[in-house]
Each structure stands twice: as structure tokens, then as C-alpha cells.
Amino acid sequence: MYRLTEEGRNYLEKGLPERRLVEIAGKEAPVEEVREKIENFDIAVNWAKKRGWIEIKNGKIIVKSRGVVPEEKALRLLAEGKSVEEDVLRVLMKRKLVEKVKEDIVERAKKQLKGEVTSLTPELIKTGLWRDARFKRYDPEKKGKVVHPGKRHILSYFTEKIRRIFLDLGFEERKGPFVESSFWNFDALYQPQDHPARDLADTFYMSVPKRTSLPERKIVEAVKRMHEKGDSESSGWGYKWSEDFARRAVLRTHTTAVSARSLVGITPPAKVFTIDRVFRNETIDYSHLPEFTQVEGIVIDESVTFRDLLGYLKEFYQRLGFERVRFRPAYFPYTEMSVEPEVYFEEKGEWLELGGAGIFRPEVTRPLGVDVPVLAWGLGLERPIMLALGLKDLRNFYYSNDLGFLRSVEVKV
């Protein structure tokens, strides 16, 4: 066993000499002044220099830094009869602050018998003295200390779960910029430039940058032509399309902008998804936020039909944990046919709509170079989680920073 020498006990009480030296010197002090106030001055200077705490310049001790060293804690542990790391122990023995002594195993075991015994040690077992021990009563019903290990935020957990579902179904993940052009956010989706959704009341328009670049010319011209005149199967919107208006920078209002970008140059068959943040000019309350997360998927294949869309949606929601899924007709500006999937919440005993889906209109896909059906769907990430957890305020996810809520939320793996 190891015990403190007399010098070690002195340092335990008063502090290591290098520690006392930097405390006395403060930021800077004359060498002779410090020498008069500290014993073992040379030892203190030697160790303080080794640790990079001081330098001596022009007859003064200049303190550069001061930190905690393991030897200080080790002295306290050894005084309490506890063990320390071997490399720290070697330093203490080299400084003659600790010495190695032999102690009879029986004596060590007898010391452990004083008071209630809380642990069965090798000494008690080897000597048989455990038979004489008065063990502390073990209460299996007594609650232990509450420990809060690190865990994923509830949104991160579901984001990763949804990502795994898409990847397992053979989809490829895509990303897009938060600051988007009006072209990709609206025009490429065949939304007219005077549409109410483009109004400042719904969309965040950027001051810096105020304008963005557009894609290659042939795509811009194809989108412009579709808006103004249409094609053989569409009459278009019949207005003068503005390229300058299409350059206006916005915080993207939906991840469908990523889907539109993904269609350019893609080779069918293909399956693409994105899970990312979007922004709307909303007043913050319990059910509305100016930023939230959308989940979007598209399937590009000449052989897919509306029935395939329903199959993908049903499979997706069932893998997400909703056993009962149904569909009802809907209208969305850039899909036709369109549908709203609904899932049944057992806890509430009701059907709830969780997203929108449909087949992209040809006015969306053809100008971007795709002449086969494109299935598309999207949902907000926060709403199904909120409903599943019985929450009534979306702000719990972003703005409350309630550790009690985050620790108490349970999710099924």
C-alpha cells in the first residue's frame, strides 16, 4: 500500500510549493520578495517552470498560467486510502511525497470491519473475516440516484427514423439551399407570378441577396413558354412572365423546390427524398411557426400509376408506426390527381390528415426535361410527432428548451 510521507502530508495541508508560489506571486512579483514568503523556494520554481506556469525575467517572477494538476487530487485520495493512477503515483514517489509500505492483509481486513460494510472486498474474502462483518442492509425497493444520460432530441430521432425508411425503400437523399430563387420555389412548379402564395404575407423575401442566378437558358425558356403559352396539351396561364421576378431570392417555403431541382437531368427510373427546414411568414403561436421541417418524396418512372402512389404512401406510414391508413381526394396547385393520406390515431379515436400527395402536372415536369409520370408527396414532420405524443404546442420542439420535457419524452426504438 502507499501512504503520504511527512512532506506529502505538509503539501496536502498547505498545497504544492509550485501552487503556493503562483498564488503568492499573483501576476508578477520580485524573486526575492517571493523567496522570503515560501519554503522550498527552489523546488517551487523548478516545478512551476516544468509546468509552464512561470518565467523569470529581469529579477521578477511572471505568472503565465495556472492550472489543476493530478498530483493535488492524488494526495487527497491517498490520504483517504483510495487508489490513484500509476503514472501520477510514480511522480509522487519521485518527489518523495509518497512511500510504499507493507501492511498485513488481516490488518487491512480488520480495518474494513469498522462500522457497516458496504462492499465485499478481496481482503474480507481471503481472510474469512466477512463472516464477522455487519453488512449494510440492501433495500431492493429503494430508488437510486436519477441519471439523465445523453439522448437524441425527439425531432432528430424521427428525422433519422424517416430517413431509414426512405433508404430502405431504395430512395436517394437530396439537399437544396435555404435561400432559394423564386424560379425554383414557385415558377418551376407552374405557380403563376401573381399567385397569392407569393405575397409578402406568406413568403420571406431576402434583402441580401435580393436576386439569385437562374439555371441554364433552355430550362428558363421552357418554363417561361409553359407559363405564357403552354404546349400541345396545356394552354398555360396566358400572361407576360418576368425573368426578373423569377430571380427574386426567398427563404424557401417548401422542400418541393428540392424536388423540382432534382428532376433536371435525372434518368428514370429514380426515387428521391429530402428532409429539411422550410420557412413561412407566420405569426408564432401554439400551431404555427415561421420555420419547420418538411419531408418529401418523388418517384420518377414511366410505368408508375396513381395506385402505385397510394401503395408507397401506405407503406411509408405503416413503417412510421400508423397501422390504419386511408385516402381522400384533394386539390394541390402542381399535382393532378391529388390525394390527402389520413392515419388513424387510436388514442384520439379519429382520423387525421398528415400530408398531401399527387402526380406532378405535365406543366411542371415537361419544361424540366421529364416526360414520364412523377409521383410526389410531402408532410410536415412536427405535426404527426406532436399528435403522437399528445402535445398541444409546436413551440415545445424549438423555443421552450424545456429539459424536463426532453428527458421525459419516450420513443419506441
Is 411:384 a contact under the CB 8 Å cutoff?
no
pLDDT at 391: 76
Mean pLDDT of 114-125: 86
Whole-prediction pTM value?
0.65
Asked if the 154-408 domain carries CATH number 3.50.50.60, the reply is no
pLDDT at 306 over 70: yes
Radius of gyration for the alpha carbons in the chain, expressed in angstroms and rounded: 36
CA distances from 72 to 4, 47, 78, 101, 240 (A): 12, 13, 10, 21, 80
Q: Which residues of 125-135 are buried (b: 16+ CB within 10 A; e: fewer)?
A: eebebbeeeee
Q: Please, which pLDDT band fits residue 154 given cuts at 50, 70 and 90?
A: confident
The grid cell for 338 is 391529388
- What does the domain layout of the chain look like in residue ranges? 2-100, 103-141, 154-408
pLDDT tens-digit map of 190-249:
999 998 888 877 899 999 999 999 999 999 999 999 999 999 889 999 999 999 999 999
pLDDT at 120 over 80: yes
Is 214:297 a contact under the CB 8 Å cutoff?
no
